[in-house]
Amino acid sequence: DTLWDIAIAEVEKRENPDDDVKQGEVWEKSILFMGNKNGGKTTIILRCLEREETPKPTLALEYTFGRRARRHNAPKDIAHFWELGGGTSLLELIRIPITSHNIRSFAVVLVLDLSKPNELWTTMENLLQATRNHVNKILAKLEKTNPEVAAELKQRMRNNLQRDHPDYELVDPFPIPLVIIGSKYDIFHEFDSELRKIISKTLRFVSHYYGASLVFTSKSEALLLKARILINHLAFGYDKSKSVSVDPSKPLFIPAGLDSLSQIGPPPASDSDMGKMRANTPLELWKKVFEKTFPPKSLCDLQDSKDPAQDVQYAEYEVDVMRAQKNQELEQYKRNASKSWKEMDFDSD
């Protein structure tokens, strides 16, 4: 090949970062955003899509999309953005966006509110476990109907770590691509330095253990840009940054596969405390250490108890009038039924 041929091949390679997408074809990906209530998921999505809108509370499961062109005169690629509202109260809705038809092009973004460390582990554990269970059911079906695709998905997540990485056999990669975002870093930064170290170290371990990328962000444009880099890699195949920031006094930024257990170190607990803790897995040990410092809120406390029908932002005059009428009819029915019950003459025999 001439130097010119090599240059052309290199440009085409950069413009087509995913080998599965041929020239002229449309790249189509899906991402599910989930995490703490009021944790900043909507804000992150809007900034990724460069939309100047005021974020509104998410009701149940919401959908939007973004389009990007990889080069001039090329068809625009599509990214489907799903957002799960309600924190951990609507876990059953996870099965709606993730299906056997899109599993090969699906990814998850978990947004954790760093300003609420007592909710952090419970929220993370329940959301990731529900997602993993659903994905594993899909993979189990694919192993029977399309074993090649199932094998490809399992191997793909192992590819985040090189085979010669010392932790290759010690981690348990999430079955689909995962990005963990620690939001509200501006509030988190005011925490005591030792508490920040525990949270940062724990999230580094969890991210590395699951083969996920980790980034801390806030409303700051500079930090949102770092989150956008990771999300745009999932959504549109943009280059994944190779830079790393592991200093606990600064916002963390660690793309998948660029951390290690030796750099993270052991769980932040004394030898005597570690000896008292019984755990079957490394993840369980880190959980016990983390929750010793940050006792978790119960799952009931994290449920979204607010009735969306009473929320003024969803007000619709015609619907609300009809609902009020039906409520009145129901109350009248209850009164009549109660009256009839009391007037019944039961046979004493």
Digit-coded pLDDT (tens) for 194-238: 999 999 999 999 999 999 999 999 988 888 888 998 998 888 888
Provide the pLDDT for residue 303: 55
- Any alpha helices (H) in 102-192, and if so which ranges? 117-145, 147-158, 185-188
Element at 226 (helix H, strand E): helix 221-236
**Nearest CA among 145, 214, 217 for reference residue 188:** 217
- Cross-strand bridge partners of residue 65: 80
Provide the pLDDT for residue 9: 65
3-state DSSP assignment of residue 145 = helix
Provide the pLDDT for residue 158: 79
Element at 275 (helix H, strand E): helix 271-276
Domains and CATH numbers, the chain: 26-293 (3.40.50.300)
Task: Show the low-confidence residues of the chain (pLDDT under 70).
Answer: 1-3, 5-26, 70-72, 298-314, 338-349
* Structural contact between residues 33 and 84, judged by C-beta atoms closer than 8 angstroms: yes
Provide the pLDDT for residue 26: 60
d(Cα 102, Cα 29) in Å, to the nearest integer? 8
Provide the pLDDT for residue 298: 67
d(Cα 228, Cα 231) in Å, to the nearest integer? 5
Provide the pLDDT for residue 179: 96
Paired tokens of 222: 């500079």
d(Cα 14, Cα 205) in Å, to the nearest integer? 32
